[in-house]
Chains A and B, each alone.
Chain A
Amino acid sequence: MATAAKLIELAGKRFKVETSQMTPDQDFFQALNIDSIQALELLSDIEMEFDVEIPDYELQGVVTFDALAALIDKRR
């Protein structure tokens, strides 16, 4: 499974949003309707699931699931 798809699945499970309602090019804050603290929960989930470490500052300007997936792939 592509990273973006896995990411959507993970985020959907965490925040109880149907994966079918989300697309890789969507703004994940809007798609998931989350705040900054929930974004940190998602970051922890991502780091654990993909076994990567993502410093917060690398997330500056990362808005879509696709962009987030690219960041994860670079770190693996």
Chain B
Amino acid sequence: MIDCHFDPKDGIYELVLNRAPCNEIGSAMLLALEEVLETIDPNKGKALILRSGSAKGFCAGADLRELYEGVLAHPDGGHEAKLREFLDRIHSVMDRLDTLAMPTIGVVHGVCFGGGFELALTCDILIAEKTARFCFPELRLGIIPGFGGIPRLKRDVGNALVRDLLLTGRSINAKKAVQVGLVSQMVAVGEGPNVARAMARQTAHFDGDAMRTCKSFIKPLPTEELKQEKEHFLRLFKNPAVKAALKTFYESDDVRPYL
């Protein structure tokens, strides 16, 4: 589900998400993220690249089918405790990625939606291939992002863009993402990993203590807002409209659900 490569010569980790169809984040992907993080040694690693092996894109977000099946399995509302546990665990994963003691470079192509966008936002630097498309579609379902995406997006870009993306649920392309400062470089299709490796090798030259100090100074974890976002999500998730929207998504075979 996640291939982890380590190049001992340069000290570069490369994590490749590989779950069909497009790296949806459900219980299996969560467990894989937890397990792969256990293997990352900050004393050995000097940089980390996070990318996708799926042709469709970086990550299509939370596994909504699994989420809806969980709701169906607990018609009495007992799903809430499981959902909170899932959120606690995914927040822990996101926070650990966010604060890893080495520079992290995300490579995005194709779809980078919802929870996938939230995962990308944990990275220190983002490289987008020309096909990349970023979106927070959660409000279409009657919820907000729940994996820490809002505080992290607010940390990285202006609030006007945050409102535009969240309140309209529209997607933006790689060029726009560079223009608004979300992404550092836009590169040709297929070139993302090579560009990221060159960048990782460059950062790996720098002193580890200086690198860690710089990173923690310029990229603090928005702890309080992350907690608030989680509670807002859990409250909104109780609304009947959310279950109805998930049902529609679950049962739809329309090829145009995003449009």
Interface residues of A (CB under 8 A from B): 29, 34-37, 39-41, 43-44, 47-48, 53, 55-57, 59-60
CB-defined contacts of A40 to chain B, threshold 8 Å: 110-111, 133, 171, 258
Of all chain B residues, the one with the shortest Cβ separation from A47 is B173
B130–A48 CB distance below 8 A? yes
By beta carbon, the residue of chain A nearest B173 is A44
**Are B56 and A56 closer than 8 Å at their CB atoms?**
no
Q: Mark B115-131, 1 if CB is under 8 A from A, else 0.
A: 00000000000000011
Check A53 against B176 for contact (C-beta < 8 Å).
yes
B212: interface (CB < 8 Å): no
CB-CB under 8 A from A43, the residues of chain B are 133, 171, 173
Contact digits for B244-259, partner A, Cβ 8 Å, 1 yes 0 no: 0000000000011111
**Contacting residues, chain A, for B175 (C-beta < 8 A):** 47-48
Residues 166-180 of B contacting A (Cβ, < 8 Å): 168-176
B258 touching A36, Cβ below 8 Å: yes
Are the CB atoms of B259 and A60 closer together than 8 Å?
Answer: yes
B93 to chain A, nearest CB (A): 25
Q: Are A56 and B130 in contact (CB under 8 A)?
A: no
The number of A-B residue pairs with CB atoms under 8 Å apart is 58
| B22 interface residue per 8 A CB criterion | yes
Interface size on B, residues (CB 8 A): 25
B151 within 8 A of A: no
Smallest CB separation, B118 vs chain A (Å): 18
Residue contact B259 to A37, C-beta cutoff 8 Å = no
User: Is the beta-carbon distance between B257 and A56 smaller than 8 angstroms?
Assistant: no
Q: In the complex, A45 Cα to B108 Cα: how many Å?
A: 16
Which residue on chain B has the smallest CB distance to residue A41?
Answer: B131
**Would A39 and B256 count as touching, CB distance under 8 A?**
yes
Among B111, B135, B170: residue with most chain A CB under 10 A: B170
Task: Give A62's nearest chain B residue, CB to CB.
Answer: B259
Distance in angstroms between the alpha carbons of A55 and B57 in the assembled complex: 20
Q: Which residues of B contact A56 (CB under 8 A)?
A: 135, 169-171, 258-259
B 215-259 to A, binary, CB cutoff 8 A, 1 in contact else 0: 000000000000000000000000000000000000000011111
Contacts of B168 in A (CB 8 A): 55, 57
**Which chain A residues border B169 with CB–CB below 8 Å?**
56-57
- In the complex, the answer to whether A59 meets B133 with C-beta atoms within 8 Å is no
B22 lies within 8 A of A37 (CB): yes
Evaluate contact between A55 and B170: CB separation under 8 angstroms: yes
| Cα(A34)–Cα(B133), bound, Å | 17
Q: Is the CB of A35 within 8 A of B173?
A: no
In the complex, the answer to whether A36 meets B257 with C-beta atoms within 8 Å is: yes
| Residue of B with least CB distance to A51 | B175
> Closest A-chain residue to B132, C-beta based?
A44
